Amino acid sequence: MREYVDLRRCNTFGLPAVAERYLPLTDLAQLEGPEFRQSPTLVLGGGSNLLLLEEIPGLTVHVLLSGIAWSDGRGRFRVLAGTDWNQFVRYTLDTGFPGMENLILIPGTVGAAPVQNIGAYGAEVSEFITAVQAWEFGRGMVELSPEDCAFGYRDSHFKREPGRYLITAVDFDLSRRRPLKLEYGAINAELEAEGITDPTPRDVANAVTRIRRSKLPDWFFYGNSGSFFKNPVVSRGQYTALQTEYPDLPAYPIDADHVKLPAGWLIDRAGLRGAGTETVGTYERQALVMVNRGGATGRDVLSFSERVRGEVKGKFGVEIEREVQLFPA
């Protein structure tokens, strides 16, 4: 256990923050210790979905349990929570178990993947999860089924119950071959540009890698946490009303009554792409991404993001919700 630990390098936004108490979790046996009688303030993975506000009181647990705990050799894996997500996806492709190629290059850890049900290019991690192993504070080790996890769009039981669980490992099933998902984003166009007519999962992974690299800022140079806001879900009635004024407003169907609107488009059309202050702003090439232009604090980011929310609400009457997790909440 260490005290007053600098977390600037532990969050991809590069925000200054200090953990009052910091414990690296490298062994499951540590969970039996007295520190875990109550929930920590922050369970930290790769820090790629966080908005940290200077001081994190109480305990921060950094989940560093890493590696593949078991595999049946036929596509079923139990992976420890601190394992790098992208490395695991690459490993599955290298060992002949495709399926998660659309989810390549998402930063962060395996343990955080179920928390917000990470997704990209038409795929979500929940499609591959068969169980989540977790430490429930005040109770002990538990196993949650996909139904228990109650996965939704960038949402899960874990997100709705902050502080209740520390995920120790995730079980995946990649034994079933699935059709490739090519229709989302620019995947098809990217494959065509490469002259690929009969793509393999590896081709899709390479296409997604190229698209992501061209669209998203490298957090090593421009601190960021990927998409800052979720895409809002609105009623079809509201969408139709908006369409009369904005005929080119894109929408993705959710169900008979609802559609999802791209938050990036709304921010862009509110005139906020590339807008901001000296320290924080939206990324010039993707308005949904907020970047640390150098020297930003969590409060700078929070206050600019509130301005963005307010202007989008004012122009379109649509609420956009933060995707990143604020600590302390």
Ligand X SMILES: Cc1cc2nc3c(=O)[nH]c(=O)nc-3n(C[C@H](O)[C@H](O)[C@H](O)COP(=O)(O)OP(=O)(O)OC[C@H]3O[C@@H](n4cnc5c(N)ncnc54)[C@H](O)[C@@H]3O)c2cc1C
Interface contacts to ligand X, rule CB under 6 A: 12, 42-50, 63, 81, 106-109, 111-113, 115-116, 118-120, 158, 165-167, 216, 219, 224-226, 325
Of 168 and 316, the one with the shorter C-beta distance to ligand X is 168
Q: How far is the CB of 23 from ligand X (least distance, A)?
A: 13
Paired sense of beta strands 129-136 and 140-144, if any: antiparallel
Element (H, E) at 302: helix 298-316
Q: Give CA 72 to chain center in angstroms.
A: 28
Rounded Cα–Cα distance for residues 166 and 111 (Å): 8
Measured from the CB atom, the residue of 118 and 242 that comes closer to ligand X is: 118
Minimum distance from residue 308 beta carbon to ligand X (Å): 18
CB 46 within 8 A of CB 86: no
* Smallest distance from ligand X to CB 74, Å: 26
Residue 228 has which token pair?
């800052």
CB of 73 to ligand X, least distance (A): 26
Distance separating alpha carbons of residues 297 and 284, to the nearest angstrom: 20
Residues in the chain: 329
Nearer to ligand X, 126 or 316 (CB): 126
| Sign of the CA dihedral with 180 first, then 236, 249, and 217 last | negative
Q: Which residues are catalytic?
A: 154, 227, 323
Sign of CA dihedral 59, 228, 154, 169: negative
Closer to ligand X by CB, 215 or 236: give it.
215
CB of 179 to ligand X, least distance (A): 21
Least Cβ distance, residue 236 to ligand X (angstroms)? 25
Beta bridge partners of 233: 260
Closer to ligand X by Cβ: residue 12 or 126: 12
Asked whether 25 and 135 are in contact (CB, 8 A), the reply is no
Of the CA atoms within 13 Å of residue 302, those in its CB half-sphere come to: 14
DSSP per-residue string spanning 92-107:
HHHTT--S-GGGTT--
The single-letter DSSP state of residue 229 is B
Residue 102 vs 316, nearer CB to ligand X: 102
